[in-house]
Amino acid sequence: MATEDDGSSSEQAAPKAATPEPAEPKEPKEPKPKARPLKRPEPKPVPKGQGPGPPRKRVKQEVDSPSHDPPKVPVKARPMTPTLPPRSVSAKQEEKEDSAPKSPAKFPRKSPPTSPPSPPAEPASSSWRPDWKERDEDKWWETDWDRWGSWSSRHSANSGSSARWSSPGSVRPWVRPAEPSSPPKPKQAPRAGKGASPPKPRNVPPPRAGKGGNTKGGCKGGAMGFKAAVQDLSRRMRPRRASRTPPALHTTPPSHTPSASPAAGAAAVDRLSVCQVQAANLRQSAQHLLVLSSRTAKDVTQELTRISQDLLASAVALGKIQTRIIDGKAVSTQVRAEVKEMTEQLQQEHGVVPGIAMILVGERQDSKSYVANKTKAAREVGFHIVDVHLPDSVAQEELLLELQKVNEDPKVHGILVQLPLPEHINEGAILKQIRVDKDADCFAAENVGNLCLKGGDPPLAVPCTPAGCVELLQRSGVEVAGKSVVVLGRSNLVGMPMAQLLLSMDATVTVCHSKSQDVARHLSRADIVIVAIGQAQFVRGEWLKPGCVVIDVGINSVADETKKSGYRLVGDVNYAEVLGVASMVTPVPGGVGPMTIAMLLKNVLNLARQSAGLPRVPLRREVPAVEPQLA
Ligand SMILES: Nc1nc2c(c(=O)[nH]1)N[C@@H](CN(C=O)c1ccc(C(=O)N[C@@H](CCC(=O)O)C(=O)O)cc1)CN2
């Protein structure tokens, strides 16, 4: 895709200076589970410290016209300081929210329990479904502000794929706890050689009268056809030479080596075993469906969903899930190209050039690098740029004065104060002074409030990183409405607004944080997982529900002697383990990070449009839903 220098690759960005109180990546103390053989060496936590760059004495305020001057902070100027590796972006936020020291036990590294407590009874779908049918026009994400409606429904589904998830019969059930099985009873073994549960036979619930008065043993609209089909499925699933005791799933993933060696032979047996268990499970599922055919369509749909989950688990065990890598760099390039086009149009048709003020305080290498990349990206799309760089030692009043200037500058439509600010500056007091209609990051209380309010005004901008995550999901064809989403982290920058955004898109959102119990259990039920906790490679593959979508917001450095810099960037998710389990994952670097910058540009464009009385541009392109891919 694009080769343009967007500052999003690890080559382009400068190493990030550490903060005085760095968040150490908390690596597991427990031994790793036996099965999924991971050759990845444990990264050593890197000592972090404050970047030693001499504080600048000058106050720089430069006005940059589009496509003229080179960046004020050269992108390639990145002193490689192995002892000053980039620190986690989200860690700092998490530090701020929880003053108490974190204990690794708060995010325990352990397998999801095989028998979690029974889920609460699912509410009748009609009583809790959002009023999406009436509110097709309220999907603010892809509509003009003028058509703004209830915040709760503004993302509501109006597409076929959404309806699929919202219809009464297709409400995705909770992942069931393990239940005592009836024969054939395969010996249970961890998924893909790890602690998770393989498909398990379920107890058949006693038949009951179906809703809608259909008590005669049939779903509405063709029970006999369905029954016959299930019988046929059951017959076809029956093993030709059924073994009395189905073999257990093996604890190692099947090998793909040619079958000449004894090891390959053993691997083939492994694969055969897995297939046999899978067939046994399917056969039992079909039998179960036979019983369920006397029940309601909802029961049957739930059972079908469970079967598909079991199939996904089997696919994981067989090494058959192909995890799609969501290319944030490519998507961000696309978004920036769209912003550029719309900027040109805005200038031609209305004579408005979007203007952004970037306020950077201090000499943190990471902040300097991000601001340099933002400046470069803003220049590329044709924005007017005001670049303010203040020394570390700047007084709060002086910073406020600079802020006042850009607040009053009519050429500036969006203001960005790069975070974090030095310790002696009251961050909240500064952010409060940004004019709400120039709040490019959606930090202002009014904008944050509107993000949360049902039926309130729309926020004038959307928080950049969460908006980037949503954009990645949408452009990857991932439907959010009705899905179970777990957000790990509750920072003001990512976790909190992310959860609100997803809630407004009709997701069922669970927020886990440093005080949450049994994070793995929450994760094992999530269709979509968004991780922003600032702990290197914290989320394990075995915790995840097969086929889920993983968005990794973390940026952490770990020591890597093979690199010239002495470190490399990793996310909050154990990427290697997630491959083959999740249906999609964002990499680090090259995932969410570049989207943060692209969405900032989009925010500023929209602020400029709104300042001219124009509606904001749609944030979304319709894309077909993507199902998990099997190899
Ligand atoms: N005012 C703000 N401050 C901060 C924000 C923010 O959204 N507004 N977010 C973060 C930092 N950030 C943007 O400012 C940011 C972080 C990471 C990236 C990025 O492109 N990362 C690359 C890797 C970069 C590297 O090699 O170091 C990637 O993930 O691929 C962009 C922006 C805190 N402050």
CB of 416 within 6 A of ligand 1: the answer is yes
What spacing in Å lies between the alpha carbon of 531 and ligand 1's midpoint? 15
Q: What is the ipTM of this complex?
A: 0.98
Mutation choice for ligand 1 from 555, 600, 601, CB with most ligand atoms inside 8 A: 555
Q: Which helix (H) or strand (E) holds 629?
A: strand 629-630
* Digit-coded pLDDT (tens) for 244-263: 333 333 223 333 333 345 66
Closest atom of ligand 1 to 16 CA is 27
What spacing in Å lies between the alpha carbon of 589 and ligand 1's midpoint? 10
What spacing in Å lies between the alpha carbon of 104 and ligand 1's midpoint? 26
For 211, phi then psi, to 5°, come to -65, 155
pTM: 0.63
CB of 51 within 6 A of ligand 1: the answer is no
pLDDT on residue 401: 98
pLDDT on residue 391: 98
For residue 116, give the nearest of 187, 179, 171 by alpha carbon: 179
Which fold is adopted by the domain 461-591? Rossmann fold (3.40.50)
What spacing in Å lies between the alpha carbon of 487 and ligand 1's midpoint? 19
Cβ 559 vs Cβ 514: under 8 Å: no
CB of 532 within 6 A of ligand 1: the answer is no
CB of 596 within 6 A of ligand 1: the answer is yes
Q: Which helix (H) or strand (E) holds 373?
A: helix 365-380
CB of 89 within 6 A of ligand 1: the answer is yes
Residue 543: both structure tokens together: 């915790």
Closest atom of ligand 1 to 86 CA is 27
If you take atom 4 of ligand 1, which residue's CA is the nearest one? Answer: 419
With helix as H, strand as E and coil as C, how does 559-598 read? Answer: ECCCCCCCEEEECCECHHHHCCCCCEECCCCCCHHHHHHH
Closest atom of ligand 1 to 12 CA is 26
CB of 567 within 6 A of ligand 1: the answer is no
Please calculate the CA angle 110-111-114 and round it to the nearest 5 degrees: 140
CB of 589 within 6 A of ligand 1: the answer is yes
Q: How far is CA 349 from CA 537, 609, 614, in A?
A: 48, 11, 11
SS3 336: helix
Mutation choice for ligand 1 from 596, 600, 604, CB with most ligand atoms inside 8 A: 596
Beta pairing partners, 243: none
The packing angle between helices 365-380 and 592-611, to 10°, is 50
Mutation choice for ligand 1 from 370, 375, 493, 570, CB with most ligand atoms inside 8 A: 370
619 HSE (CA, 13 A, CB side): 30
For residue 433, give the nearest of 448, 421, 445 by alpha carbon: 445
List CB contacts of 18: < 8 A, sequence separation 6 or more: 48, 49, 50, 51, 84, 85, 86, 87
* Digit-coded pLDDT (tens) for 45-90: 444 333 333 333 334 444 444 433 333 333 332 322 223 334 444 4
User: Residue-wise over 179-211: b if at least 16 C-beta within 10 A, else e?
Assistant: eeeeebebebbbbbbbbbbbbbbbeeeeeeebe
Low-confidence ranges of the chain (pLDDT < 70): 1-272, 618-631
What spacing in Å lies between the alpha carbon of 108 and ligand 1's midpoint? 27
Closest atom of ligand 1 to 371 CA is 14
pLDDT on residue 312: 81
